[in-house]
């Protein structure tokens, strides 16, 4: 264990708990941003499909392999 820390002492539990809380908060914020980006992407794909359909670029049936 001493080799992993480079000869330093282990951090205090309070410092580790504080760091864990900060990382959990950051993860929560980033995940919320990720979910919003997913919703925006899905909406953009739906809008594109609607526009393509209105312009007659598709016949109304889409193959999932084509969208990926």
Structurally, how many domains does the chain consist of? 1
Check pLDDT > 90 for residue 17: yes
Q: Residue 51 belongs to what domain range?
A: 34-68
Contact between 52 and 58 (Cβ < 8 Å): yes
pLDDT at 3: 75
Q: Is residue 3, in this structure, part of any structural domain at all? A: no
Does a structural domain hold residue 2?
Answer: no
What backbone phi and psi angles, to 5 degrees, belong to 45? -65, -40
Domain assignment present for residue 25? The answer is no
Note the pLDDT of residue 66: 65
- Structure-token pair, residue 62: 């889409």
Judge whether 50 lies within some domain. yes
State pTM to two decimals: 0.60
Residue 42 resides in a domain: yes
56 torsion bin: left (phi>0), alpha (psi -120 to 50), beta (else): left
For 23-41, what is each residue's pLDDT tens digit? 999 999 999 999 999 999 9
Domain assignment present for 4: no
Identify which has the larger pLDDT, 10 or 25: 25
Q: What is the mean pLDDT of residues 44-54?
A: 95
CA distance 39 to 27: 18
């Amino acid at each position: 264990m001493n080799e992993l820390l480079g000869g330093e002492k282990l951090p205090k539990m309070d410092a580790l708990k504080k760091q864990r809380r900060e990382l959990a908060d950051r993860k929560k914020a980033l995940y919320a941003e990720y979910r919003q980006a997913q919703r925006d992407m899905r909406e953009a794909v739906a809008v594109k499909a609607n526009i393509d359909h209105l312009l007659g670029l598709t016949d109304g049936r889409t193959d999932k392999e084509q969208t990926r």
